[in-house]
Chains A and B, each alone.
Chain A
Amino acid sequence: MSILEVKNIQKSFGKERVLRDISLNVQQGEVLAVIGPSGSGKSTLLRCATLLEEIDFGYIAYGDLVMARSEGNNERAVYSAAPVLRQIRRRFGLVFQSFNLFPHFSVLRNITEAPVRVEGKSREEAEQQARALLDKVGLSEKADAYPCELSGGQQQRVAIARALAMQPDILFFDEPTSALDPELTGEILKVIRSLAQEKMTMVIVTHEMAFARDVSDRVIFMDDGVIVEQGDPQQVLENPQSERTRAFLSRFSHNG
């Protein structure tokens, strides 16, 4: 069964149709890279999948749990009841472009707060787990620091640990390196790569083409609210079939 199933979703902001007709499946252990020009709807897709925006039409499900569905073709999507949505929220995690760590909490508390408050874990258990996660992202010595004392790259690694602490089935990344100085992107990509090796299911919106090719099992190219092309990273990035993909990628290589 797919971890995430998205069928024919549509989303408009006022008159602007941001997602026109998007369908996609993510399988267990799959790493999906989503590329495309800004304004193509990549971030909106992630925000709809993580309940930060509501879709207008279509169907979204996590495994056996349906988040929202349209009954007919022209029926607006209806969301499941709050208890189901609560259950669904525990299945995904999201890493933001701008980290969004809680500035008033220490690094450790940023990671433990949700397991303690939402899942009802004991503080000891949550802290033990948090320390293991910090170790994994290479920040074990920063447990007691505050976010403002960390570099952007370190903050983003904490944000990844915070998302992992909820043991999600799938982890979304919304341009995780775009707010970072170029020399700091490497440490994030390294962490994501190690997660891929552990068969973490991930959907990564990114502008790092080389990274997308390296780490992903499948690349999706989005433009103007639709999926223009998808497939094997090698094929999409090096031998794109669509004119739009080619135009986008060439712009990219010229810009460096």
Chain B
Amino acid sequence: MSWDNVLNTTEQIAQASLQTISLFSLTLIFSLPLGLLMAFCRMSRIRPLSLLMRGYLLIMRGTPLMLQLIFFMYGLNLPFSRFQVAVVAFSLNYAAYFAEIYRSGIEGVPVGQSEAANVLGFSKGQTFFRIILPQVIKKILPPMGNEFMTLVKDTSLAQIIGVAEISLIGYQLQQTFVSMIPIVIAGVFYLLMNSVVSRGFSMAEKRLGYYR
């Protein structure tokens, strides 16, 4: 590969990384709150609701995301663009993982915390958002960090429905130039993104390290 082609490849992959980053960010924006809602359903005392959610979580976590993407794209005929379908599928899939992480975090906060809040007169909402959730966030940072990093890499699956993200472009350029360089460059982009994610989580853990 000529130097010009390397530059050109980098530029195209940088272009594609915008798709990757958008998919990553939009997935988080939707799946983080959605996962919390799912965790509540899963822990609900209303038996049918909790059973339904268990079934959902089993399906979403028990089948490959790639198959889910194909199903959402060609099975459901949603009036969405390829990219939008990817956001929907990723959000529903990641929300399922987040739901289980939230649940473990919520169950890990001693029941005495909500009892103390209850006796002091806090409402249910105040108790959850002011007392429980901050402690949950501290507990779930490490598993969340894992999920975030996996998500960065999982965005490459969106190529199966034709989203022009980093891996797809990298693969096409590798075919064009019959060279490994585009693949290496694509890898470097993922690595860069994940070092930012990893850095962010270390900082967050440090910030919340003031208490045990």
Q: A residues bordering B, Cβ < 8 Å?
A: 50-52, 86, 89-90, 92-94, 96, 98, 100-104, 113-114, 117-119, 146-148, 162-163, 166
> Are B120 and A162 in contact (CB-based, < 8 A)?
yes
When C-beta atoms are compared, the residue in chain B nearest to A159 turns out to be B116
> Are A104 and B119 in contact (CB-based, < 8 A)?
no
User: Is B138 an interface position by the 8 A CB rule?
Assistant: yes
Q: Which of B164-212 contact A (CB under 8 A)?
A: 208, 210-212
Give chain B residues whose Cβ lies under 8 Å from the Cβ of A50.
119
> Are A117 and B119 in contact (CB-based, < 8 A)?
no
Partner of A94, one of B110, B119, B126, B135: B119
> Are A104 and B134 in contact (CB-based, < 8 A)?
yes
A-B contact pairs, 19 of them (CB 8 A): A52-B115, A52-B118, A94-B116, A94-B119, A96-B115, A98-B112, A100-B112, A102-B131, A104-B134, A104-B138, A104-B208, A113-B130, A114-B120, A117-B122, A117-B130, A118-B121, A118-B122, A148-B212, A166-B120
When C-beta atoms are compared, the residue in chain A nearest to B109 turns out to be A103
A97 to B138, CA, bound (A): 25
When C-beta atoms are compared, the residue in chain B nearest to A88 turns out to be B121
Task: Please give the distance in Å from A135's CB to the nearest CB on chain B.
Answer: 21
Contacts A103-B212, A104-B138, A148-B211 given; indicate if A114 touches B121 (C-beta within 8 A): yes
When C-beta atoms are compared, the residue in chain B nearest to A93 turns out to be B119
> Are A89 and B121 in contact (CB-based, < 8 A)?
yes
Give chain B residues whose Cβ lies under 8 Å from the Cβ of A101.
116
**Number of A-B residue pairs at CB separation under 8 A:** 61
A86 to B115, CA, bound (A): 15
When C-beta atoms are compared, the residue in chain A nearest to B115 turns out to be A52
A90 to B131, CA, bound (A): 19
Interface of B is mostly: helix
Interface centre among A92, A113, A147 (most CB of B within 10 A): A113
Contacts A146-B210, A146-B211 given; indicate if A96 touches B130 (C-beta within 8 A): no
Task: Please give the distance in Å from A45's CB to the nearest CB on chain B.
Answer: 15
Interface of A is mostly: loop
> Are A117 and B126 in contact (CB-based, < 8 A)?
yes
User: Is B8 an interface position by the 8 A CB rule?
Assistant: no
A225 to B118, CA, bound (A): 25
A128 to B81, CA, bound (A): 58
A94 to B209, CA, bound (A): 29
Give chain B residues whose Cβ lies under 8 Å from the Cβ of A100.
110, 112-113, 115-116
Task: Please give the distance in Å from B208's CB to the nearest CB on chain A.
Answer: 8
> Are A51 and B118 in contact (CB-based, < 8 A)?
yes
When C-beta atoms are compared, the residue in chain B nearest to A94 turns out to be B119
> Are B119 and A102 in contact (CB-based, < 8 A)?
no
Q: Which of B126-145 contact A (CB under 8 A)?
A: 126, 130-131, 134-135, 138
Sorted from nearest, which 4 A-B pairs have the closest CB atoms?
A100-B112, A100-B116, A114-B120, A118-B121
Interface centre among B118, B121, B131, B208 (most CB of A within 10 A): B121
Give chain B residues whose Cβ lies under 8 Å from the Cβ of A146.
210-211
Give chain A residues whose Cβ lies under 8 Å from the Cβ of B212.
103, 148
Give chain A residues whose Cβ lies under 8 Å from the Cβ of B115.
52, 96, 100
Task: Please give the distance in Å from A214's CB to the nearest CB on chain B.
Answer: 27
Partner of B121, one of A90, A98, A103: A90
> Are B118 and A86 in contact (CB-based, < 8 A)?
no
A94 to B116, CA, bound (A): 8
Give chain B residues whose Cβ lies under 8 Å from the Cβ of A104.
134-135, 138, 208, 211
A101 to B131, CA, bound (A): 10
When C-beta atoms are compared, the residue in chain A nearest to B114 turns out to be A100
> Are A102 and B118 in contact (CB-based, < 8 A)?
no
Give chain B residues whose Cβ lies under 8 Å from the Cβ of A90.
121
A101 to B134, CA, bound (A): 14
> Are B135 and A118 in contact (CB-based, < 8 A)?
no
Give chain B residues whose Cβ lies under 8 Å from the Cβ of A86.
121
> Are B118 and A103 in contact (CB-based, < 8 A)?
no
Give chain A residues whose Cβ lies under 8 Å from the Cβ of B130.
113, 117
Partner of B116, one of A96, A117, A119: A96
